[in-house]
């Protein structure tokens, strides 16, 4: 078995493994987007709860804390017991598809009556 018979072996292996590496990277990046969206949603719920506690517009406060890309699917609900529920669509790595999954966060200031 000579050296010439194995020539190009590394290139063939790279071409075979590269799609798997790219798929794993895309899945990891999508998970990062989900985590970041959950964190931003919780922050928007806290801002909405603070605004609601002082009699201001909870939806405007929640909307002002979110980046423009997340405002499109934003839902803000004031709860009867106090607090705010904020829900947004999870952004997808490939924007060609709509995300059917939403992330929601609830926040209240815990005021006693």
| Residue 72 belongs to some domain of the structure | yes
Domain count, the chain: 1
Q: Which domain holds residue 63?
A: 3-107
- CA 91 – CA 15 distance, rounded (Å): 30
- CA 85 – CA 73 distance, rounded (Å): 14
Distances (CA, A) of 67 to 39, 43, 50, 76, 109: 12, 12, 19, 15, 24
| Residue 91 belongs to some domain of the structure | yes
88 phi/psi in degrees, rounded to 5: -135, 155
Tens place of pLDDT for every residue, the chain, 113 residues?
A: 555 667 777 788 888 899 999 999 999 998 999 999 999 999 999 999 999 888 899 889 999 999 988 887 788 888 877 789 999 988 887 765 666 788 889 888 765 44
pTM of the model: 0.76
| Residue 11 belongs to some domain of the structure | yes
Using DSSP's 3-state secondary structure scheme, residue 101 falls into: coil
- CA 42 – CA 51 distance, rounded (Å): 14
Dihedral (C-alpha) 39, 42, 48, 51: value to the nearest 10 degrees?
A: -90
């Amino acid at each position: 078995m000579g050296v010439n018979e194995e020539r190009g072996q590394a290139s063939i292996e790279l071409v075979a493994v590269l799609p798997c590496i790219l798929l794993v990277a895309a899945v990891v990046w999508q998970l990062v987007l989900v985590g970041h969206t959950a964190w931003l949603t919780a922050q928007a719920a806290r801002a909405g709860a603070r605004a609601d506690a002082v009699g201001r517009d909870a939806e405007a406060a929640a909307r002002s804390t979110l980046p423009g890309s997340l405002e499109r699917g934003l839902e803000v609900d004031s709860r009867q017991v106090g607090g705010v529920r904020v829900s947004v669509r999870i952004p997808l790595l490939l924007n060609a598809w709509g995300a059917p999954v939403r992330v929601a966060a609830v926040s209240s200031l815990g005021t006693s009556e």
